[in-house]
A and B are shown apart, each in its own frame.
Chain A
Amino acid sequence: MQPQSHRFKQNVSVALQDVQLQKALERVQEGFVDKRAAVVSTLPEFEQLREQGKAIRNHVLDNLDFYLQRFESQVQARGGQVHWAENAQQARDIVRDICKRVGAKMVIKGKSMISEEIALNDALEADGLDVVESDLGEYILQLAQEPPSHIIAPAIHKTKAQISELFYHAHQKLGYTRKLDTVPDLVNEAREVLRSRYLEADVGITGANFLVAETGSNIIVTNEGNGDLSCTLPRVHIVTASIDKVVPTLDDASALLRLLARSATGQEITSYTTFSSGPKRAGDPDGPDEYHVVLLDNGRTEMLAGAFRDMLRCIRCGACMNHCPVYGVIGGHSYGWVYPGPMGSVLTPNFLGLDEAGDLANACTMNGHCASVCPVKIPLPDLLREHRRRQFERKLQPRFARFALAAWATIVRRPRHYQPLMSMGIRILNRLGRGKGRFKSLPMLGAWTQTRDLPAPQTQTFQSLWKKQRGDER
């Protein structure tokens, strides 16, 4: 998708006024936050598991070359193929070539953020392929021609009425002419429509929640079972995954799975956790004839080498956005690209650069809620601050902000000048505001006073009062 992160502020204004969106966002609290809290409270080992999760992911990053090669050799030993892509273009080409070679006409897809990151659907459709998303949320968005607004619940911003409208228009040609108004009816209709598509598809493309080096397996975690159908029924199964997805063993994967569902949806485990290792074996009555894994770098090796290495621990659970007060009122589309919320604000500037996505790094109050729930303890606020450090170094912040900061710092660094200066300023402000106790507007502070009164200073500065009091006592 065309990045819209540079329009962040405009996007925010639109989102805050969008009544439907605001209604939808209210559901994040009940649907995710409360459920997570409830399930975490029943597992006394949860904090230890987070610490362990962090350690496992760090160990992988420290030995990434080993585990990637081990994964590759295990996939090959089981008759699968591993393809390496340095960037989105290469990844798209690999998938397109496979589809072309096997004469594919139709592709069914499980949910994959990597597929979004490399804009795979557009490329396949340009080749004349029929591409169908099978995750219900992704399917809704495909009909709406919108990007996901959440990494776990991609269509969380859509209301039932909007979905009903989309289905009504899209399914009419298939003979479904009733407008539906209940959730069961909507889900059933999608089930029926998509069922035939699974059976027709030549190629199934899924993401990977983890790749297991021990066995060469890819793991997908779903509640719907769509990913499983996508990797069982078509002749060819292609996995699109980034290089950071690998974990050492089945045991390590289990340790992380204990964190994933709880952090993501507040479940102890999802309905389906599926390990696929290679194409179907001799004698297998079902399963794909070909199995491919596309391993994508796309800037991750650069992150591995630098200050954003911790971000590569991410297991894409979405807890950070569910708990982010900013995400909670602006929604995922405001962020303007594939990854929203705190993890997106760290990732997007890494992928698209600070010129495109610099606002994201600043749109955070540093409240720390995200880091406090992250299952692998990524210090998200610190990483956002690292982006700000780079912006400051490259002088990317608005000139006025830089000037104000420099002026402020000059004074703050000189206490002997600071105190008389502040004392004078505060006396004046106090005199101006004492009557009402607050200001309705102040020059240069419109950003505050447009929507908030600004309390007036109480009296003089504490330091001058204190000095006086000490003097009197003496």
Chain B
Amino acid sequence: MNKARIGLFVTCLVDLYRPSVAFAAIKLLEDAGYQVEVPEAQTCCGQPAFNSGDFGNTREIARQVIDAFADFDYVVGASGSCIGTIRAHYPDLFENDPAWLAKARDLSAKTYELTSFLTDIASIDTVESSFRGEVTYHDSCSGLRELGVKQQPRKLLDSIDGVSVNEMQHSETCCGFGGTFCVKFPEISTRLASDKVDNICDSRAPVLLGGDLGCLLNISGRLQRLDKPVRVFHVAEVLADMADGAAIGEGED
């Protein structure tokens, strides 16, 4: 039987900051029986330009992504906000351009966030991981509201023996990252991150997981500035049993 081919959308933050997330995604997808490839001609989904109102550049970047992934059966990425941009917004960008609109819709229809692909499409309900302990989970906004990612990561986490999710209060409230928002309005952003940190600490779980690296960088940065000992991983790293190295923002010393 021919395996379905997946193009991995790496996302710029994973590419630059945390390659282990992409390796984890590849492992999970291969274990699920897919053939995974990583097109070289990818950089970013264009969200920073899009949310800054620069639709011209967004459209160019979108074309690049559409072309790079045109031939795959599925496109999967370990980020709710990048996948949300492709799924929910690319088609809007080409409203007046029928040829590209069709291509954007094609791409949109076959693009999935990692945990939702694993559970909703690949029908995986258990994963093998040696990770143990209590974790708490932050629901990143785009994944939650643009893609309906909520139960999927929890379901997979629940399948790991010895992992339990201690839900924090207001897990669905924004952490204040918001892409460029976090540097345009640092005071508000910091306040939201602090509130998130409080809720994380109140959950008493020693580990925070999430599905979007942007949020995780923001939250871990705030946790560390406040000297909170909570360790932060992308959920894919735990699911793929690749969370034995340094957590986000942890050094070698």
Q: Which of B16, B42, B52, B179 contacts A392 (CB 8 A)?
A: B52
Q: Are A455 and B174 in contact (CB-based, < 8 A)?
A: no
Residues of B within 8 A of A408 (CB): 48-49
Q: Are B40 and A367 in contact (CB-based, < 8 A)?
A: no
Q: Are A452 and B222 in contact (CB-based, < 8 A)?
A: yes
- Distance in angstroms between the alpha carbons of A459 and B14 in the assembled complex: 11
Q: Are A434 and B20 in contact (CB-based, < 8 A)?
A: no
Residues of B within 8 A of A187 (CB): none
- Distance in angstroms between the alpha carbons of A363 and B189 in the assembled complex: 10
Q: Which of A13, A388, A416, A435 contacts B52 (CB 8 A)?
A: A388
Q: Report if A462-B15 is in contact (Cβ < 8 Å); known contacts: A419-B40, A448-B221.
A: yes
Interface string of B211-225 (1 = CB under 8 A from A): 000000110111011
Q: Are B179 and A366 in contact (CB-based, < 8 A)?
A: yes
Q: Are B53 and A415 in contact (CB-based, < 8 A)?
A: no
Residues in A368-419 with C-beta less than 8 Å from chain B: 368-369, 371-372, 382, 385, 387-393, 397, 401, 405, 408-409, 411-413, 415-416, 418-419
Residues of A within 8 A of B55 (CB): 389, 392
The smallest C-beta distance from B175 to any residue of chain A, in angstroms, reads 8
Is A453 an interface position by the 8 A CB rule? Answer: yes
A contacts with B, residue count (CB < 8 A): 66
- Distance in angstroms between the alpha carbons of A455 and B222 in the assembled complex: 10
B contacts with A, residue count (CB < 8 A): 71
Q: Are B19 and A368 in contact (CB-based, < 8 A)?
A: no
Q: Are B16 and A461 in contact (CB-based, < 8 A)?
A: yes
Is B101 an interface position by the 8 A CB rule? Answer: no
Residues of B within 8 A of A369 (CB): 141, 145, 172-174
Q: Are B17 and A458 in contact (CB-based, < 8 A)?
A: yes
Interface string of B22-60 (1 = CB under 8 A from A): 110000000000000010111110101111111101001
Is A128 an interface position by the 8 A CB rule? Answer: no
Residues of B within 8 A of A261 (CB): none
The smallest C-beta distance from B19 to any residue of chain A, in angstroms, reads 4
The smallest C-beta distance from B227 to any residue of chain A, in angstroms, reads 10
Q: Which of A382, A415, A447, A450 contacts B43 (CB 8 A)?
A: A415
Residues of B within 8 A of A435 (CB): 251-253
Residues of A within 8 A of B192 (CB): 325-326, 329, 365
- Distance in angstroms between the alpha carbons of A412 and B20 in the assembled complex: 22
- Distance in angstroms between the alpha carbons of A275 and B186 in the assembled complex: 47
Q: Which of B44, B48, B142 contacts A368 (CB 8 A)?
A: B142
Interface string of A61-89 (1 = CB under 8 A from B): 00000000000000000000000000000
Is A39 an interface position by the 8 A CB rule? Answer: no
Q: Are B54 and A415 in contact (CB-based, < 8 A)?
A: no
Is B166 an interface position by the 8 A CB rule? Answer: no
The smallest C-beta distance from A295 to any residue of chain B, in angstroms, reads 33
The smallest C-beta distance from A266 to any residue of chain B, in angstroms, reads 17
- Distance in angstroms between the alpha carbons of A408 and B19 in the assembled complex: 21
Q: Are A458 and B176 in contact (CB-based, < 8 A)?
A: no
Q: Are B141 and A365 in contact (CB-based, < 8 A)?
A: yes
Is A436 an interface position by the 8 A CB rule? Answer: yes
| CB nearest neighbor in B for A429 | B16
Residues in B217-253 with C-beta less than 8 Å from chain A: 217-218, 220-222, 224-225, 246, 248-253
Q: Are B40 and A392 in contact (CB-based, < 8 A)?
A: no
Is A422 an interface position by the 8 A CB rule? Answer: yes
- Distance in angstroms between the alpha carbons of A269 and B172 in the assembled complex: 28
Q: Is the interface of A mostly helix, strand, loop or mixed?
A: helix
Is A437 an interface position by the 8 A CB rule? Answer: yes
Among B40, B180, B185, B224, which residue has the most Cβ atoms of chain A within 10 A?
Answer: B185
The smallest C-beta distance from B35 to any residue of chain A, in angstroms, reads 14
Residues of B within 8 A of A459 (CB): 19
Q: Are A447 and B183 in contact (CB-based, < 8 A)?
A: yes
Is A457 an interface position by the 8 A CB rule? Answer: yes
- Distance in angstroms between the alpha carbons of A461 and B12 in the assembled complex: 9
Residues of A within 8 A of B221 (CB): 438, 448, 452-455
- Distance in angstroms between the alpha carbons of A445 and B190 in the assembled complex: 14
- Distance in angstroms between the alpha carbons of A387 and B53 in the assembled complex: 8
Q: Are B141 and A461 in contact (CB-based, < 8 A)?
A: no
A-B contacts besides A405-B52, A451-B190, A458-B18, 4 pairs, CB < 8 Å? A363-B184, A405-B48, A437-B249, A438-B221
10 tightest Cβ-Cβ pairs between the two chains A and B: A365-B178, A437-B251, A388-B53, A452-B221, A392-B53, A367-B141, A462-B19, A455-B249, A367-B174, A447-B183
Q: Which residues of B contact A (CB under 8 A)?
A: 10, 12, 14-20, 22-23, 38, 40-44, 46, 48-55, 57, 60-61, 64, 92, 141-142, 145-146, 172-174, 176-193, 195, 217-218, 220-222, 224-225, 246, 248-253
Q: Which residues of A contact B (CB under 8 A)?
A: 9, 12-13, 16, 325-326, 329-330, 362-369, 371-372, 382, 385, 387-393, 397, 401, 405, 408-409, 411-413, 415-416, 418-419, 422, 426, 433-438, 445, 447-448, 450-463, 465-466
Q: 23 interchain pairs (CB within 8 A)? A: A329-B188, A330-B188, A363-B188, A365-B177, A366-B141, A367-B142, A367-B178, A385-B51, A392-B53, A392-B55, A401-B180, A405-B52, A409-B60, A412-B43, A437-B251, A448-B186, A452-B224, A453-B220, A453-B249, A455-B17, A455-B217, A458-B20, A463-B38
